[in-house]
Amino acid sequence: MLQEKHSVPASTISSNLTTVRGNIYDIESIKSTLISPNNPNHLVDTIVSGMGGKEPRFQLSLINPMTIEDPHICETSMASIFSAIDALAEKGVHTAVNGTKPLLVSVSTISLDQKRDLPYLYYILEFWLLRVMRDDKLKTELLIKADGGKHIRNFVLMRPSLLTDQPRGVDKLQVGWVWGIKKDEAGRPKEPGPKIGYAVARDDLGAWIYDHVIKEGGWEGKCVSLVY
């Protein structure tokens, strides 16, 4: 896909991409993804997690009409990442090459902030039809925010609207943000608030994360909304 869709040379893929077989329930495979490929005595400097469930299905429930195979998959995966970091720390692998703990970038969802960030038409979708998946994302965010620097140096929570496979280009994105942890605003930039929109493509989401969070920086501690 990288070669055909994004014209990435095979040599670049072979030298920069490592695929590890495993899953979120396998701490050993997770540990392998957290070790720097350049120095086995250090952690990676950035962790990007885009975990989500698959094959949603309807069930006989008026409260939670839709579910997935593991309704706690996002929360479990984040807890597993933190457990893997603990296991590596016991072996003396504590920090990235630059001496800091990793930055965590986690793909979350809309409707998790006190400020409105979703169209009114999406309220039934988010708070009823997709309630199980939304609650899982909420618990994941709470777990990340409660870390307090134990496993990660900071976080960036991405809150895209409904994900699609129809990219329009990064230049078409509207970007808003709020602080992930509410406290006295003195001494830090004022949050502009979230953007409200109906959709964003996975390709554009990934490209924006790479260009602005990983390469550019400066988004630490923020919950970022992306919409068209």
- Give residue limits of the domains in the chain: 16-227
53 pLDDT band, cuts 50/70/90, is: confident
Q: Rounded to 10 degrees, what is the CA torsion of 54, 55, 60, 65?
A: 60
For position 189, what pLDDT does the model report? 92
Lowest-confidence region among 45-49, 123-127, 152-156: 123-127
Token duo for residue 122: 């999406």
Q: Rounded to 10 degrees, what is the CA torsion of 69, 73, 74, 75?
A: 130
With tokens 């970091």, the residue in question is 85
* Distance separating alpha carbons of residues 27 and 6, to the nearest angstrom: 31
Does 149 have pLDDT greater than 90? yes
Say how many C-beta atoms besides its own lie within 10 A of residue 108's C-beta.
Answer: 25
Q: What is the pTM of this model?
A: 0.94
Fold of 16-227: Rossmann fold (3.40.50)
